[in-house]
Structure 1
Amino acid sequence: MRRPVLRRTPRSTSRTASRTGAALAVAGLLGALAFGAATPAQGDAIDDRREAAEQEQAENQQARDDAEEALEGLEGELGVVSDRILEIQAELPGARLALAEANDEVAKAKREAAIVAGRLKDAREQATDLRTTIDQDSDEATRMREAIGQMAREAYRGGGDLSSVTMILDADSSEDFVERADLMSQALRTRAQVLDDLQATESGNRNSAQRLGAVKDRIGELKAEADAKLAESKVAQTKAAEAKQKLEDLEAENQAKQDLLLSKKDEIDAKLAEIDAQADQIEQDLKDAIADQTERDRERERERQRQEQHNDPPAATTGRYFVNPTQTNPIYVTSEYGMRFHPILHYWRLHAGIDLRDYCGNDVYAGRSGTVLWTQYRSGYGNQVMITHGSINGHSVATSYNHLTSFVVSPGQYVKAGQLIARAGNTGTSAACHLHFEVYIDGATTNPRPYLGI
């Protein structure tokens, strides 16, 4: 802010400049200054960061789901460590966004505090300038009063005020008269000028005093506002520090968990090999059971196989082969059949069924009429029901229902399509209640989706 000019010479110019500068300064101080709202560009940047973070979170969630299924069946500490890494990676984008927004708040609070501090500084300088102006005008008024008093005393000692009569009578010549008249005029003009200046100075002083009062009031308001902005800045800095610490803690934990998981890779390989062997055993058990059934009805099966030996497995285009095995209607798939990748261990593994939305305790139904081969607990799969549905187009078909809470049927029992066979659950290696549904064609898993008509 430009400070008012306080030099007193020439008198009229200095006073005009001072009053103009003071008026402008006071008007500026008393005007409202809006801050705290982000400019459109700032708002767009924040929105872009938030959208990017949400996109990253969605991608991480998909990666997490894939990774969980890549290590499906891995139990104990290693499974917990892997899950925690995936949880952390899902939290990291939000933590980074929180830190960025906290830093934005700190920058905003500092900007606002600086604005208020600048306004407070200007107000204090304006108050100092006004006090200086008042002091100078008071000194000037005192000098002018003294000058007026001096003129009055001199006039009194000279016999009172001069008049045209005394000038004429006392003049020695016409030249003397003219000189005396000129001096008389100058004296009168000087006295009138001094009186005018005195009145103007006193009036200016009163105005300056009023402006000083307004500025003092504004200083008090600005001081309170500055204190509030300083407090806001400290709160924002505390939040930013907390957000930064949280992000650093997550990143450190993420690195430590990854290091631990990688150091246990051999152990994980061995456990996953066991899980794969178990899956192979399920397929072998299923093939053996099918073979037993085939042997019991050998002639009929042989005749059927001779007639249909060149047929293909049931195709998706032929329509639905299974009814909805869940209580959730319509069927809702939460995870598809297919290969999954683990981002830390770089495993590609098959998710051998589809996950269907179901809640713990919900009914689970037979997808098709058939015979229950077994009801048993298998690590990773949890409680499992396996049903064989005989031959379709010359190919044996079976289904398995996994992570169940409890069984309602028994091995060897014949069930009809849609019959209650179990309750949904979260047993085995499972992150939440759902039904892991598998379809076997000739003892090997295949994508169940087309056979469910979805």
Structure 2
Amino acid sequence: MHLNLLYKRVAAIFLISIFTVSSIIWPDLSYGWSADNNELQGVKIAAAKSSIEDKRQATRAKIEELKRKEKIEIKRLHQSQKKLEATKDDIEYCSVKLKSAKGKLSVFESQLNSLSYEQSISARRAGERIKQIYKGERISILHLIFAAQDINTFLDRVYYQQKLAAHDKELLQDLRVKTRKLASAKREIEYQKNTIVNTIGVMNQKKSQISSSINVSQYLINKLRTDRATYESAERELARQSDSITNMLGKKHKKPSVETTGGFIRPVSGIISSPFGWRRHPIFGSKSFHTGVDIAGRNRSPIRASNSGEVVFTGWYGGYGKVVIVNHGKYKGRETSTLYAHMSSTNVKVGQQISQGTVVGYEGSTGYSTGPHLHFEVRLDGKPSNPMNYMP
């Protein structure tokens, strides 16, 4: 169970590496450029900057997530290290107790051996005296009577022999009691010793598990730090590209274009599933600025040009998936274009002049998308503007 949890932790962190910097799709700013197509360049550069800023937001969110996971793992590592030190102290304490128990057992063994020897000698002596007193094989009552000078001497001899026999009996009884007590104490110490040995075994196993947990935590911390460094490097590169695009936008010079008349129409029917403005990104989970509106609808529903103009881009555009960009010229004094993203397929070509309502493509879920919908943008001088201000 413990190892399974460790493997799950490793697997969970390893999944982070699936979302590597290679998943950050750098917009191809050179595609479709031409010296006389300033509108296309301006729209593409502005769209690229917006796309890069989204990726910067996602990358920063991933960096914060890695920092959070690293902090959690460091805390887990410190807890494991404390547990390991406590377990080592417990093992050392038990080892001291085990050494003491072994010392006591050695003393008891020596004492039991001494008692056993003493008991053997006393039993042999007592046996010899008992034979002399009760069996009368060598010293008979008559012999004692005739050997004695008087009756008092005889009685004294009988008394002392009986006294010695009683002493031998008492000594043997005392030795048996001591032997039983020592044997009982020895069994208790042996039980304690075995308990301590088992406890040390369990603690060593626990120590091994904690050491494994520490190794896993250290591996994960190093992995998280490596991943974070990779994302931080990617974020710096994104920032560099964003600054570069900002400089490019500042240097753009646009040729005069025709003033667009009339209003814009809704490019596809359906509900607004995500409005213009700040939101939580549906895929990356980071807070980012939504540069258009998402209109949910059925897959492959026709998408119509919101106004007349010239198709300046059609094709795959990074996280936008399949895209069509239409330049509408000047609208209320500002260069205006519309962008239609996440299409399943496109229906127009670059350079094509189209009328309002022309089918430019079909609804889909290409690029960074969670389901069939149209991502629709209106840009004024290359900067996103709320499409709801122009549609009926």
- TM-score of the pair, normalised by structure 1: 0.49
Summarize deviations over 1:414-442 as a string: whole Å, max 9, x none. Answer: 429xx784344657xx7988743235799
What SS does the aligned partner of 1:383 have? Answer: strand
Matched, 1:135 2:110: yes
Partner of 1:436: 375
Matched, 1:447 2:386: yes
Cα deviation for residue 124 of structure 1 reads 5.1
Contact 1:356 1:437 in 2 (8 A): yes
Partner of 2:313: 377
1:420-435 equivalences in 2 (<5 Å): 421-424=361-364, 435=374
What SS does the aligned partner of 2:49 have? Answer: coil
Partner of 1:402: 341
Paired with 1:275 and 1:79, the residues of 2 have a C-alpha distance of: 18
Partner of 2:10: none
What SS does the aligned partner of 2:217 have? Answer: helix
Judged with a 3 Å threshold, the aligned counterparts in structure 2 of structure 1 residues 258 and 366 are, in CA distance, closer, same or farther, namely: closer
Of residues 180, 187, 190, the one that matches 1:203 is 180
Partner of 1:337: 277
Partner of 1:274: 248
Judged with a 3 Å threshold, the aligned counterparts in structure 2 of structure 1 residues 162 and 236 are, in CA distance, closer, same or farther, namely: farther
- Structure scoring higher RCO (CA < 8 A, sep ≥ 6) equals 2
Matched, 1:108 2:83: yes
Cα deviation for residue 270 of structure 1 reads 3.8
Paired with 2:51 and 2:276, the residues of 1 have a C-alpha distance of: 25
Paired with 1:200 and 1:323, the residues of 2 have a C-alpha distance of: 107
Contact 2:47 2:382 in 1 (8 A): no
Judged with a 3 Å threshold, the aligned counterparts in structure 2 of structure 1 residues 422 and 273 are, in CA distance, closer, same or farther, namely: farther
Judged with a 3 Å threshold, the aligned counterparts in structure 2 of structure 1 residues 104 and 203 are, in CA distance, closer, same or farther, namely: same
Between 440-449 and 225-234, the greater mean CA deviation after superposition: 440-449
Contact 1:336 1:355 in 2 (8 A): yes
Which amino acid in 1 is paired with 2:69?
A: G
1:109-258 equivalences in 2 (<5 Å): 109-112=84-87, 114-115=89-90, 118-119=93-94, 121-123=96-98, 125-150=100-125, 170-171=151-152, 187=164, 190-208=167-185, 210-211=187-188, 214=191, 218=195, 221-222=198-199, 224-250=201-227, 252-253=229-230
Of residues 81, 84, 96, the one that matches 2:71 is 96
Which 5+ residue runs of structure 2 have no aligned equivalent? Answer: 3-45, 281-287
Paired with 1:111 and 1:128, the residues of 2 have a C-alpha distance of: 26
Cα deviation for residue 235 of structure 1 reads 1.5
Cα deviation for residue 106 of structure 1 reads 4.3
- TM-score of the pair, normalised by structure 2: 0.55
Paired with 2:254 and 2:269, the residues of 1 have a C-alpha distance of: 24
What SS does the aligned partner of 2:324 have? Answer: strand
Paired with 2:254 and 2:169, the residues of 1 have a C-alpha distance of: 122
Between 206-215 and 71-80, the greater mean CA deviation after superposition: 71-80
Contact 2:81 2:214 in 1 (8 A): yes
Cα deviation for residue 142 of structure 1 reads 1.7
Of residues 289, 300, 322, the one that matches 1:363 is 300
Which 5+ residue runs of structure 1 have no aligned equivalent? Answer: 1-35, 37-70, 295-300, 302-313, 315-320, 341-349, 392-396
Judged with a 3 Å threshold, the aligned counterparts in structure 2 of structure 1 residues 98 and 274 are, in CA distance, closer, same or farther, namely: same
RMSD over equivalenced CA pairs, Å: 5.8
What SS does the aligned partner of 2:48 have? Answer: coil
Paired with 1:102 and 1:114, the residues of 2 have a C-alpha distance of: 18
What SS does the aligned partner of 1:140 have? Answer: helix
Of residues 78, 87, 92, the one that matches 2:62 is 87
Judged with a 3 Å threshold, the aligned counterparts in structure 2 of structure 1 residues 444 and 246 are, in CA distance, closer, same or farther, namely: closer
Cα deviation for residue 133 of structure 1 reads 1.4
Contact 2:112 2:182 in 1 (8 A): yes
Summarize deviations over 1:227-279 as a string: whole Å, max 9, x none. Answer: 433432331232122123224434544665566677x4xx743412435777x
Identity rate, percent: 12
Partner of 1:353: 291
What SS does the aligned partner of 2:340 have? Answer: strand
Number of positions where the alignment pairs a residue of Structure 1 with one of Structure 2: 320
Contact 1:406 1:422 in 2 (8 A): yes
Of residues 74, 79, 97, the one that matches 2:49 is 74
Summarize deviations over 1:307-363 as a string: whole Å, max 9, x none. Answer: xxxxxxx9xxxxxx958656xxx6432x741599xxxxxxxxx9573353879x943
